Amino acid sequence: MQIHLTARHCELGPDVRTFAQQRLEKLSKYDSRIHEVRVIVSHERKLHTAEITLRAHQHDVVITESHLDARAAIELAADRLEERVRRGKEKRISAPRRERRLNGTDDAQPAGTEDGAADDEY
């Protein structure tokens, strides 16, 4: 996983950069197929805005958060991104079609048996 950090209209100290690297590397425990993560931190009118773009599974996920502190903006955006990646993993794992495929069973009923219909007649 590649992590790219960009600062626009501000400077990010080495402590903030290492914090962002460590925080975003935690995402790999939820999904090993994350290709890259781009973080853009911009400063405008006393607010730092962190925009995190994650590229995985041929999809881009974009999260944007603002705060007075750059580190806090990155933390808020990373929390939301982690929540979304975790939910996506849970969906992929618990999908009904996946459970049937893994168990080797199918929910289709055998031909001739329908709900409420009896085989013998009076």
Domains of the chain: 2-103 (3.30.160.100)
Residue 57 CA to residue 34 CA, distance in Å, equals 7
The 10 Å Cβ neighbour count of residue 88 is 16
Find the mean pLDDT for residues 24-42. 92
Q: E strand or H helix at 73, and its extent?
A: helix 70-94
The pLDDT value given to residue 113: 55
Secondary structure letter of residue 109 according to DSSP: P
User: Could you report the per-residue pLDDT of 73-115, keeping only the tens digit for each?
Assistant: 999 999 999 999 999 888 888 877 655 556 666 555 555 555 5
The pLDDT value given to residue 105: 60
Residue 101 CA to residue 76 CA, distance in Å, equals 37
The pLDDT value given to residue 110: 54
The pLDDT value given to residue 115: 57
The pLDDT value given to residue 95: 74
- Of 9-18, 28-37, 88-97, least confident by mean pLDDT is 88-97
Residues 6+ positions from 121 with CB-CB distance below 8 Å? none
Residue 104 CA to residue 56 CA, distance in Å, equals 29
The pLDDT value given to residue 19: 96
Find the mean pLDDT for residues 16-27. 94
